[in-house]
Amino acid sequence: MIRLAAIALLLCGCGPSPGHSCSGDPDCGDDLVCLKPSGAGNGVCTFAFSEAGARCLSNGDCASGLFCSNDLSGETRMFAGVCQPLQGLDGACSRSANCRPPLVCTGAAQGQLGTCQSGE
């Protein structure tokens, strides 16, 4: 019985978790940041954006200038990818979000990667 109480205390006493309301980063603890629209009073606690080489599930998980590599999987969709730099001219892409602006992804199709090209 004491063990169960100790486990419950540990699980409940971990501080804020993703999705909790916040007004700033200190409200979210050490492992989370407060994500809120510019000018908004409150936001929600979320994980910090990942740096290059970190695991990710979507482009939204990666820091500015990076995209999630699972977007590049052609025939087999991977569950998790890795944050990597946006692609330059002639870089492999599955959509324009993988390319460094103002480049756009051309030639990508179901199961086939395209390349980042000038949008002009």
What domains, with CATH codes, occur in the chain?
15-47 (no CATH), 55-117 (2.10.80)
Tens-place pLDDT, residues 59-70:
777 888 998 887
Please count the other Cβ atoms lying within 10 Å of the Cβ belonging to residue 117.
17
Distances (CA, A) of 82 to 12, 39, 50, 55, 103: 31, 31, 9, 4, 21
Distance CA(100)–CA(50), nearest Å, equals 18
Distance CA(70)–CA(55), nearest Å, equals 10
Q: Residue 87's pLDDT band (boundaries 50, 70, 90)?
A: very high
Does the predicted model carry a pTM greater than 0.75?
no
User: End-to-end distance of the chain based on CA atoms, in angstroms?
Assistant: 69
B/e letters for 45-79, b = 16+ CB within 10 Å, e = fewer, are bbeebbeeebebeebebbeeebbbbbbbeeeeeee
* pLDDT at site 102: 95
Q: Residue 86's pLDDT band (boundaries 50, 70, 90)?
A: very high
Query: Average pLDDT, stretch 46-64?
Result: 82
